[in-house]
Amino acid sequence: MSQETQPSDIGQYPEGDNLKHFIENRKRGGLVWRVSFQIATILAILALIALLYNIINGAFGYVAIQNKVDPNSLVLAMEENQMLSSSGTVSSEDDNELVDGIEGNPNAIGFFGYAYYNDNRDKLKAISVDGQAPSRETAESGDYPLARPLFIYSAADVMRENPAIGAFVDYYLTNVNSVIEEVGYFPISDDLLNEATTAWSAAAGEQADALQAYTANPAEVSDHDISISGSSTVYPLTRQLAIQFRRAGFQGGLDLQQTGTTAGFRAFCEDMTTGISNASRPINRAEIEACESNKRTPVEFRVGTDALAVVVSSENTFLENVTKDELRQIFTSAETWSEVNPDWPNEPIERFIPGADSGTLDFFAETVFDRQLEALTEPELIEILKANLSTGLLRRFDAEAPLVERSQPELVDLVLERVVEQQVVQSWELTESIFDRAEIEETVAAIPQGELQWRSWLTPAFLVTPQSSTPELAGIRTALFGTLWVIAITILVALPVGVGAAIYLEEYAIMVANPTLRRINAIIQTNINNLAGVPSIIYGILGLAIFVRAIEPI
């Protein structure tokens, strides 16, 4: 065979045109691989951006929070309990009893509606709060810190079923501004009065004209009775208008009780024993839900403005002005006047305040203390837990970690989880939260006791919070520690065994003379090679599909 016809040696480079074609093919192949790599890189970057976008978009945004118990009501109840349980404190739903207790006692102090102060200004002295004295001007301007609105409440179905109530509410709104200053409160603006009248017309519906006719001639509805209860502050105003309504011709039964705002709403919403509720504070969400559960939708009527008077005896010569901070001390922790202000006498403080069902007490505590749940101290949070959880549950939490040793944020979370029972009923991503705010607010407004909050799901607490059956309270601490334990056990157990087995199979198994052992070693080696080529996720799927199913009945 000639040299020309002999085959080329393996690995010999092509020459001439073959070399040219070879280089071009390699270039084309390289270009394809380079473009493929660049496309893959771009796709990977885009996928990473999309992943980061999804993480950020889902990690921040608005959530609709629904509380089984209003956290503000817990704070309010705790503050009021501290006030009512303070030494030297006398409480009563009858403001006249409070007046009698303060009169002639230079160490006494109390608070109630301006009308009661106005009736007893010869015996009492109203003191300024934060430099503002209670008056019509400071109340209407909002400069006086303890100015508050006054209300009456009824319901559309109540006014339609009992025309005497519908007529009396109309009479009330028509005449309130002409008598309110005589009682000792301050009239509302024409705009606010028109809003109340419009609300009455909407509630009366088709019966509005007939009810207005009864307002002009109340005698025509004397076959019906009127029952009213609630705020002792609004009581004198309602009483004055009830007297005039009788003089106008109404001869039916008219029962008017001063039980306190909270008790009044209870009678109106839960017991349904009254048709009108006097209130010195707005109705809260829990009371609205109690009404609606009994097919009553409360209608609010603003009827006046009050300047809650903080009063002392006219014989008190040292007290002219107090700050909110001083009021907090006076009505809770301080036992003597000098503890609050060294310039005041070292005499015991005697407190005379409205009772637990009083809207006046609610308003005072909410305005003067004005704290959120997150601002409470550890002892105060523990007090809330003890007041709302069973003994067994408290014992269990104490066994896990003593309450007195827990941090303030931990106690807040415990109150939210176990007492408030806060739940996220709906959430929105970041983009929705930015661009659909109005729609989100409408959705939250329709949720009973719904509250809109901005929430960041990625926080340091997420790493240190244990798992929970409530998703919004869950963290990854348990999973994180579990992973670390698995790694530690693997290092301590699996790593030495695996390394030892590898050394044995690689160095010593080949020297085994026994054919049976050689066959077993070969099988083990084959399985190891096969397992090494299978992604570990397959093992997880295998375990989920077979082993978990197998032990499910157990």
Q: Which residues of the chain have pLDDT under 70?
A: 1-13, 468-473, 533-540, 542-545, 547-549, 551-554
For 363-399, b/e burial (b = at least 16 CB within 10 A) is: bbbbbbbebebeebebebbbbbbeebbeeeebeebee
**pLDDT for 9:** 52
Q: Say which residue the tokens 């003067």 belong to.
A: 368
Query: 422 is written with which tokens?
Result: 């806060």
CA distance 396 to 403: 10
**pLDDT for 1:** 45
For Cα atoms 266, 268, 274, give the angle at the middle one, nearest 5 degrees: 130
Entry pTM? 0.67
**Closest listed residue to residue 226, CA positions, set 176, 164, 272:** 164
- Give the H or E element holding residue 532: helix 515-532
Distances (CA, A) of 188 to 108, 141, 477: 32, 12, 57
CA distance 361 to 377: 22
- pLDDT tens for 75-110 read 888 889 989 998 899 999 888 899 999 999 999 999
Q: How far is CA 133 from the centre of its chain?
A: 34
Helix ranges, 205-284 (H) = 208-216, 235-247, 261-265
CA distance 211 to 200: 10
DSSP-based three-state secondary structure for 184:
coil
The identity of residue 377, as a single letter, is T
What CATH code is assigned to 72-143+309-368? Answer: 3.40.190
Q: Quick one: what percent of the chain has pLDDT higher than 90?
A: 51
Query: 305 is written with which tokens?
Result: 């403005």
DSSP-based three-state secondary structure for 155:
strand
For 439-478, b/e burial (b = at least 16 CB within 10 A) is: ebeebbeeeebbebeebeeeeeeeeebeeeeeeebebeee
The CB density around residue 297, as the number of other CB atoms within 10 Å, is 12
**Closest listed residue to residue 126, CA positions, set 137, 105, 110, 142:** 110
- Residues belonging to the chain: 554
Instruction: Tell me yes or no: is domain 147-307 CATH 3.40.190.
Output: yes
Distances (CA, A) of 310 to 259, 313, 486, 525: 21, 11, 65, 90
Outline which parts of the chain fall under CATH 3.40.190: 72-143+309-368, 147-307
**Closest listed residue to residue 298, CA positions, set 159, 398, 194:** 159
**pLDDT for 532:** 72
CA distance 433 to 61: 6
CA distance 340 to 338: 5
- pLDDT tens for 414-436 read 898 889 887 888 889 999 999 99
Contacts of 454 (CB under 8 A, 6+ apart): 60, 61, 62, 63, 433
Helix and strand counts by DSSP (H, E) for the chain:
26, 15
**pLDDT for 19:** 81
CA distance 104 to 88: 16
Hey, what's the torsion of the CAs at 66, 70, 71, 76, to 10 degrees?
170
Task: Work out whether strand 108-112 and strand 89-92 pair parallel, antiparallel, or are unpaired.
Answer: unpaired
Say if CB 200 and CB 169 are below 8 A apart: yes
**pLDDT for 543:** 67
CA distance 197 to 518: 101
CA distance 127 to 129: 7
DSSP-based three-state secondary structure for 368:
helix
CA distance 47 to 42: 8
Q: How far is CA 187 from the centre of its chain?
A: 34
**Closest listed residue to residue 79, CA positions, set 288, 397, 370:** 370
CA distance 347 to 330: 12
Query: 533 is written with which tokens?
Result: 């080529």
